[in-house]
Amino acid sequence: MVGCSVLAPSRSHSTSVSCRPAPSLPRSSPTEVSVVVLGLFESDSSPSALSFKEAAFGKQDPPVWVWTKDAAAAKKYFPKGFSDKEGIVVITQFREEDGGPNFSMPSKDIEDAEAIASFVDVYGSPLVWHYSNELSNQITSGRLQKFVWAFSDNAHWADYVKALNSVAKDMRGKMKFVLVSAEHEPLLQFFNIDKNALPQVLLIDLHPSVGQRQFKYGTWDTKKRVWNTEEAKKLDAAALTAFLGKYEKGELKRFLRSEEMPESQPGPVRVVVGNTFEDEIRTDKDVLMMMYGDHSWCEHCKIFDPEFELIGKQFEGNKHITVAKLNFGRNDIEDAKARGIQPKGFPDLMLFRKGEHDKPPIVFDPKKYNDERGLPAVTQFVKDHSSLKFKLEGATFGGKKREEL
């Protein structure tokens, strides 16, 4: 046991605690992650100690950040032959790769807070995460926001463990690899993946400027407009490496989630899905669209839905405007964030003006309408912002150019 000082993120002082190496887990089951970042410093005011504190400030456990001046006690956690007076080591339970379970940071970088944070982010994670609800936040947090999500049934599990662990060694610090079993049905539903169509692989890049981008392992069937993922059943390390290589070269076709289009649309509100979105906003009409989430978790969406039906009836049959809705949680829009199609909450109303599909939509702001979002307020919003001039119940709507709004 090493006597250490834990860096309390919200305080300027430290609290004396004890730390010990994390216990080991079976190689194939990193389901409970326990990580300690141990710093060895000559004083708490050395340049490397100050950088260590800066990197740790505001971080949530795990990992636990600790430091000590006791070189004799701390060095047993560093690699054999370590002789530096100061150093940083990430103590883990991950034994899937050479160098584990403890990972020592290069000495040339220990005075760089950014480098410390990045090193901990990378080496404080297993090569391959085995998904669980408890680990969800740990998996999706951190600086690295590129993921390979592999969803597997029992029949292909062993092959997927082998393939992912092999490829992840060469992609350390470039992508996170996550293996998900069929029992996690809510997550499968979130990604629109059929439990009976496993295994499947998704590469997800949470791009800071354009938003989420997805790439699915398989081929796009242009006639059926579906992804053929049968080849995922034959996935091995070579095939996965080739897939990731195409991604890095920009040769992969984007995968956009989409629900099935309803066979009929009898109501006043048109249902839009991912595969029809681009066509819907490129018609000769303005489109008032509600972006919403599943009623199973979005109570506000459930409450607002009847009101939006009334709004649909208000403009039903109007040749100048279409009232529509899209489940934003189940349907993807290409480069949504960069195009300004990013709901700030659910439900959110957006007006796509005719001929302006290359511009951001006009977003309904309740604050401009006495904090109301019912029929009168939304009707006034359409009246103020519609690109097409028309009359409804004696009132003149729209007709303004975008620069006049």
Model confidence pLDDT, tens digit, residues 161-203:
999 999 999 999 899 999 999 999 999 988 888 888 899 999 9
| Average per-residue pLDDT for the chain | 86
224 and 293 share one domain: no
Mapped onto helix, strand or coil, the DSSP state of residue 113 is: helix
pLDDT of residue 152: 96
CA-based nearest residue to 2, from 88, 58, 83, 72: 72
How many helices (H) and strands (E) the chain has is answered by 10, 20
Dihedral of CA atoms 144, 148, 207, 366 in degrees, nearest 10, equals -110
Instruction: Establish if 275 belongs to a structural domain.
Output: yes
**Residue 349 shares a structural domain with residue 332:** yes
Q: Tokens for 311, please give them.
A: 């709004």
Q: Is the peptide bond before 101 cis (omega within 30 degrees of 0)?
A: yes
Whether 263 maps to a domain, the answer reads: no
Q: Which pLDDT score is estimated for 81? A: 84
275 and 400 part of one domain: yes
Specify whether 177 is located in the same domain as 289: no
Give the model's confidence band at 211: pLDDT under 50 very low, under 70 low, under 90 confident, else very high: low
pLDDT computed for residue 64 by the predictor: 86
> Residue 41: pLDDT above 80?
yes
Output the 3-class SS for 236-280. Answer: CHHHHHHHHHHHHCCCCCCCCCCCCCCCCCCCCCEECCCCCHHHH
C-alpha distance from residue 373 to each of 78, 174, 199, 279, 290 (Å):
60, 44, 43, 27, 12
Q: Count of domains in the chain?
A: 3
Mean pLDDT of 22-37: 49
Q: Are residues 180 and 231 in the same domain?
A: yes
Greater pLDDT, 138 or 341: 341
The answer to whether the bond into 361 is cis (omega within 30° of 0) is no
Quickly list H helices, 288-356: 299-314
218 versus 12: the higher-pLDDT residue is 218
Same domain, 344 and 312: yes
Bridge partners, residue 67, by sequence: 5, 39
Domain boundary among 84, 99, 123: 123
Residues 111 and 225 reside in one and the same domain: no
pLDDT at 293: 94
pLDDT the model gives residue 92: 87
- 306 vs 79, which has greater pLDDT? 306
Higher pLDDT, 263 or 15: 263
- The answer on 387 and 279 residing in a single domain is yes
C-alpha 51/C-alpha 112 separation (Å) is: 6
281 and 398 belong to one structural domain: yes
Residue 3 has pLDDT above 50, yes or no: no
Which pLDDT value is given to residue 62? 72
Full residue range of the structural domain in which residue 164 is found = 128-248
Are 12 and 102 contained in the same domain? yes
Lowest-confidence range among 91-95, 248-252, 358-362? 91-95
Report the range of poorest mean pLDDT among 106-110, 209-213, 238-242.
209-213
Which H or E element spans position 120? Answer: helix 113-123
| Boundary (domain end) residue, out of 248, 280, 296 | 248
Amino acid in position 88: I
Of 105, 123, 141, which marks where a domain is finished?
123
Given this model, what pLDDT does residue 148 score? Answer: 97
**Number of CB atoms found within 10 A of residue 32's CB:** 13
Within a domain: residue 107? yes
- Identity at 404, one-letter amino acid code: E
**258 belongs to a structural domain:** no
**Tens digits of per-residue pLDDT, 257-314?**
888 899 999 899 999 999 899 999 999 999 999 999 999 899 999 999 999 999 999 9
In a domain, 264, yes or no: no
pLDDT given at position 11: 32
Q: What is the pLDDT of residue 15?
A: 33
* Tens-digit pLDDT profile for residues 109-144: 999 999 999 999 889 888 999 999 988 888 888 888
294: in domain: yes
Question: Does residue 18 register a pLDDT over 70?
Answer: no
Q: What is the CATH number of the domain that holds 371?
A: 3.40.30.10
262 in any annotated domain: no
Q: Are both 274 and 332 inside the same structural domain? A: yes
Q: Does residue 240 sit in the same domain as residue 280?
A: no
| Domain membership flag for residue 256 | no
